[in-house]
A and B are shown apart, each in its own frame.
Chain A
């Protein structure tokens, strides 16, 4: 199969504008090594990690393949992995060969959450593997572990993205913060997502001023940061320990800005801005956010990301007239024949979006392969069976070869008792972050992924 190359038209098709795609290959020498950096040494391509969440689980009987290994048959929910065509005629190629279906892993800590219903308890542990707290996820998520360890190599240690507006109300009996954030630097330390394409674009690709103006901006910003740090120092000596921790977060955030100044200019040529995105349907909006994220990775602006595909309460009106007022969460709890069909369609939509993201990574050629070969995209929902909130068999897709070590194209099923955090241990090791334990019950990495 010929990987389709992302081109200008493809990137922003549907958004009324075209992005000039910077080519990461331009940053590679002919052996796929990065050059053009101050510390240019031949080195392997970086492994990117993306966590990807869709809400409300699925219908496990329509999801789970019966066979394991490479010859499993695609189930109804997984059909989009065989390729499909977008409404505008763009073909999304088959991604099955680049994806592992992983089953049997458990989100055991969901049951230990201190409050909330079945969704929030599980989402509070998503990608961090710790029991949720009343106001927050319980621990650091794997993308942030990686960002802390090796994210300073890029301008943005991580770029969390979500496609739905943030909610402010409690939902499912707990703070909106848990629903709004997949990425956590620690308890009570959400790493908020970008949700607006124009704002995300400006953050990633804002026009670089001329060299002399850039120098002035950098000098001005440094002077402001120096002053703010002095203000922080004066304030922090006068307040209590708990408050000082919060103020410390502000200081570390300010230092992050300082680091960004140092790395500014390392970015690739800026694409052009997305046009008016108000008129985009929800699915096209999500794909636009994916293109921006993948472009950021191609430009090596970041290597770690989370991607949140909706809130459990969102509607999917673009799926057709029957979906206009169909509240997804309510639907996921129904088990009648009609609901099983509709829930299957909803899952297919989620898998199709995941496949699209993977196809963008695969269309980005780097070295001898594609960016997807140097990525791991972890996708699942907060629960397995949507109608009953099961935590014991998560419907996981893991795309990418993680730098070449992961053998893809298979269904890998684990016997009961393995935690999803065991997979996170393995993913972090593939990403170059030596890890032996993760979260509450990640005790050992999973090795079966290597074949």
Chain B
């Protein structure tokens, strides 16, 4: 297969997926070596106009459900544990297209709602905070009405129309003669938590005469978009009040509100929900290692690996003036005793987490030398170099690699005495394998000195020196020596900073970005430009995205109404 010329444009296109047009666009490279030119974009040279995507109907993800009922009703158990799992698409669990619903969902939502209703009404403390008025005697009716008004407004993330209030009060009436005076509250909770208005984030919007064909999102639609993006959970009363006051009607108001929200503690959890999926840190929870081969392995070590990267990202997101691209090249990290031992560094003085300077340890520094990445990509000893390369391509460069075609031979079993690198070279000697694997394996080879739990070795078990020579085909110059040089190279690639924006975009909008001039490319370029001009401030990039047309406008989905 033909290699892409080094100076060719390296943009990798997404093809719209026709069946679910408007709901999702996902695509793969038609071939691993080519550059996909986008015919739609070519036909529409005016790339200056950002075209907002479709308005979506998104079911709450299971994680969003848990955080939402916690914030609404003080539910601290992970109720969604029994729900059918959400499948991730393009890396995130909030893709509208994957948020299906089934009779089993309905059953589990009912069971969860009944459990939450029973637990809330059985707890005087929770009743006081959720209801807060007297349900006996003449005060009962106004108390229920007050509860419906406040609770359902927060649960539906918008004010209610009269019919909705009356409907809920009617539900309460059904329990009027229940010996348990709180039964009406439980029933209202059950009804609200099973309603589509709660379970789905519906975006309505209204036509904007000044922007033909586009809908401007309503102020409460925007409050939900902001809240689930920045906090990962439901809007609170203050945010709904801000929306009701009209503050979110302007781009400036949105930006100002986003800044306020980012200063709230909930934003730490909300953004962690994003980067935990983007960087695939959550997969560490299910990694296993053979205790005889890796005596230091433990679930606690795995949790520490995730924590190191989380603390690194948090530092880069929340420290004023931090350059987010230091994720790749930073000379400091956060270690506890376990990780320090794994890295061969002195443990922190009090054994717990401490910022650690890595200037004297050239083998560490940046995500690609962190145990999280090095471990979660090592599904098996034999395939870790492949997956380390694949991660760089997919997670950091936003390339979409095609899947192995049907009926391909698999990676050959090792021949005695053969190194992993030799074995993968043997595999790539088959041209049908080389086409794609040349993109992955030679990148991963740069991280070959790190074993499958991220410990660093200069020699292998047979005392042979381990090479860290790697190649990033498609970029100039392709060759690099080890993760430090690769990371420095990646940091300078416009594809990488744009990829951060693209990942945020997927998460924010619940769909794959369409990298065409008629799709999402103009907006992504604008947001990337703001990312760059802010010296890669992650928060500034977010603020510019939420104030953008892509966030404020949408096209009516699926044939409109």
* Contact in complex: B167, A242 (CB < 8 Å): no
Chain A nearest CB, measured from B177 CB (Å): 10
Q: Does B265 contact A (CB under 8 A)?
A: no
Cβ of A336 within 8 Å of any chain B Cβ, yes or no, is: yes
Q: Which of B255-263, B302-310, B400-408, B441-449 contacts A (4 or more CB under 8 A)?
A: B400-408
Do A180 and B88 touch (CB < 8 A)? no
A113-140 to B contact mask, C-beta < 8 Å, 1/0: 1011110110000000000011100000
- Whether A219 and B174, one on each chain, are in contact in the complex, defined by CB atoms closer than 8 angstroms, is yes
The answer, yes or no, to whether B458 is at the interface (CB within 8 Å) is no
**B-side contacts of A368, CB under 8 Å:** none
A111 to B405, CA, bound (A): 10
- Chain B interface secondary structure, helix, strand, loop or mixed? loop
Choice from B88, B200, B380 contacting A327 with Cβ under 8 Å: B380
Contact of B98 among A166, A177, A250, A324 (CB under 8 A): A177
| A42: min CB distance to chain B, Å | 31
Beyond the given A176-B85, A243-B56, A253-B106, please list 12 additional residue pairs across the A-B interface where CB-CB is below 8 A.
Answer: A116-B403, A117-B405, A134-B17, A134-B26, A135-B98, A170-B89, A175-B98, A192-B85, A224-B194, A240-B561, A242-B559, A336-B413
Instruction: Indicate whether A334 sits within 8 Å of B413 (C-beta atoms), given known contacts A169-B283, A177-B98, A253-B103.
Output: yes
Q: Are A241 and B559 closer than 8 Å at their CB atoms? A: yes
B170 at the interface (CB under 8 A from A): yes
Interface residues of A in 160-175 (CB under 8 A from B): 165-170, 172-175
Q: Assess whether A246 is interfacial by the CB under 8 Å rule.
A: yes
User: How far, in Å, is A192 (CB) from chain B's closest CB?
Assistant: 3
Give bound CA distance, A168 to B204, whole Å.
29
Q: Which B residues are within 8 Å of any A CB, using their own CB?
A: 17, 19-20, 22-24, 26, 28, 55-57, 59, 82, 84-89, 93, 97-98, 100-107, 110, 161, 163-164, 167-168, 170-171, 174-175, 178, 183, 187, 190-191, 194-197, 199-200, 202, 204, 283, 290, 379-380, 382, 402-411, 413, 556-561
Q: A117-B406, A118-B406 are in contact. Are A242 and B290 (CB under 8 A)?
A: no
Do B202 and A168 have beta carbons less than 8 Å apart?
Answer: no
Closest chain A residue, CB of each to CB of B293: A325
Instruction: Assess whether B202 is in contact with A190, with CB atoms less than 8 Å apart.
Output: no
Question: How many A-B pairs with Cβ below 8 Å?
Answer: 209
A185 surroundings in chain B (CB, below 8 A): 102
- A229-237, A283-291, A441-449 - the one binding chain B: A229-237
Chain B residues positioned under 8 Å from A110 (CB to CB) = 406
Partner of A324, one of B101, B167, B290: B290
20 A-B pairs, CB-CB below 8 angstroms?
Answer: A115-B28, A168-B93, A170-B88, A172-B404, A175-B87, A177-B87, A193-B84, A199-B82, A223-B171, A223-B191, A228-B191, A231-B164, A235-B200, A238-B202, A238-B204, A253-B102, A257-B106, A324-B290, A330-B382, A389-B406
**A176/B88 contact (C-beta < 8 A), A116-B403, A118-B406, A227-B171 known:** yes
- Contact across chains for B403 and A190 when beta carbons are under 8 A apart: no
A residues in contact with B408, CB < 8 Å: 117-118
B28 to chain A: which residues have CB within 8 Å?
A: 115
A203 interfacial by beta-carbon distance below 8 Å: yes
Residues 90-124 of A, flagged 1 when their CB comes within 8 A of B and 0 if not, give 00000000000000000000110101111011000
A174 and B196: CB pair below 8 A? no
A214 to B379, CA, bound (A): 50
In the complex, which residues of chain B have a beta carbon less than 8 angstroms from the beta carbon of A235? 196-197, 200, 202
The interface residues of chain B lying within 8 Å CB-to-CB of A190 are 84, 100, 102
CB–CB B403/A172 < 8 A:
yes
In the bound complex, what is the Cα–Cα distance between A194 and B272 (angstroms)?
A: 29
Q: For the complex, what is the distance from the CA of A135 to the CA of B87, rounded to whole Å?
A: 10
Give the residues in chain A near B411, CB-CB below 8 Å.
330
CB distance from B103 to the nearest CB of A (A): 4
Q: Tell me if B410 and A330 are in contact (CB < 8 A).
A: yes
Tell me the complex Cα distance, A116–B401, Å. 11
A279 within 8 A of B: no
Taking a contact as CB atoms under 8 Å apart, the answer to whether A224 and B191 are in contact is: yes
In the complex, which range does the number of interface residues on chain A fall in?
Answer: 35 or more
Query: Is A249 part of the contact surface with B, judged by Cβ < 8 Å?
Result: yes
- Which residue from B97, B405, B557 sits with its C-beta under 8 Å from A188? B97
Contact of A133 (CB < 8 Å), options: B19, B85, B190, B406? B19
Across the interface, do A250 and B88 meet the contact criterion of CB distance under 8 Å? no
Tell me which residues across on chain B come within 8 A of A388, comparing CB atoms: 407, 409
- List, in ascending order, chain B residues with CB within 8 A of A219's CB: 174
Report whether B556 and A249 are in contact in the complex, using a CB–CB cutoff of 8 Å. no
A247 at interface (Cβ–Cβ under 8 A)? yes
Chain B residues whose CB sits within 8 angstroms of the CB of A241 once the complex forms: 558-560
Q: Is A35 an interface residue (CB 8 A)?
A: no
A223 near B187 with CB under 8 A, answer yes
A positions within 8 Å CB-CB of B: 110-111, 113, 115-118, 120-121, 133-135, 157, 165-170, 172-177, 180, 185, 188-194, 196, 199, 203, 216, 219-221, 223-224, 227-228, 230-232, 234-235, 237-247, 249-250, 252-254, 256-257, 260, 324-325, 327, 330, 333-334, 336, 339, 387-389
CB-nearest residue of chain B relative to A121?
Answer: B406
Closest Cβ of chain B: how far from A281's Cβ, in Å? Answer: 16
Contact residues in B for A192 (Cβ distance below 8 Å): 84-85, 102, 104-105
Q: Is the CB of A168 within 8 A of B88?
A: yes
List B contacts of A325 (CB < 8 A): 290
Residues of A within 8 A of B559 (CB): 240-242
Residues of chain A lying within 8 A (CB to CB) of residue B85: 165-168, 176, 180, 192
The CA-CA distance from A76 to B405 in the complex, in Å, is 31
Given contacts A121-B406, A256-B106, contact A249 B561 (CB under 8 A): no
A165 to B56 Cα, complex, angstroms: 29
Q: Which 9 A-B pairs have the closest CB atoms?
A: A173-B403, A242-B558, A192-B84, A166-B85, A253-B106, A333-B410, A243-B57, A240-B558, A176-B87
Q: Are B103 and A191 in contact (CB under 8 A)?
A: yes
**Bound form: Cα–Cα A245–B283 in Å:** 33
Residue numbers in B under 8 Å from A244 (CB-CB): 558
Nearest Cβ in chain A — how far from B28, in angstroms? 7
* Chain A contacts for B103, CB-based, 8 A: 157, 191, 252-253, 256-257
A228-B196 contact given A118-B408, A235-B202, CB 8 Å threshold: yes
Please tell me which one of the listed residues A191, A196, A227 contacts residue B104 in the complex, with CB atoms under 8 A apart: A191
With A and B bound together, what is the CA distance between A272 and B280 in angstroms? 40
A251: nearest chain-B partner, CB-CB: B196
Which of the residues A173, A240, A249 comes within 8 Å of B102, measured between beta carbons? A249
**A166-B84, A234-B164 as given contacts; A117 in contact with B190, CB under 8 Å:** no
CB distance from A34 to the nearest CB of B (A): 24
Contact partners of B22 in chain A: CB under 8 A? 242
Asked if B102 and A191 sit within 8 Å, CB to CB, the answer is yes
Task: Output the least CB separation between B513 and chain A (Å).
Answer: 16
- Complex Cα distance A333/B409, Å? 8
Residues of A within 8 Å of B199, CB to CB, are 250
Q: Which residues of A contact B174 (CB under 8 A)?
A: 219-220, 223
What is the minimal beta-carbon distance from A171 to any residue of chain B, in angstroms? 10
Q: Do residues B195 and A242 form an inter-chain contact, with CB atoms below 8 A?
A: no
Please tell me if the beta carbons of B107 and A203 are within 8 angstroms of each other in the complex: yes
Which chain A positions have C-beta within 8 A of B402? 173
Q: Are B87 and A231 in contact (CB under 8 A)?
A: no
Q: A118-B407, A253-B105, A257-B106 are in contact. Are A175 and B558 (CB under 8 A)?
A: no
Residues of B near A227 (CB, < 8 A) are 167-168, 170-171, 191, 195
B554 CB to closest chain A CB (Å) equals: 10
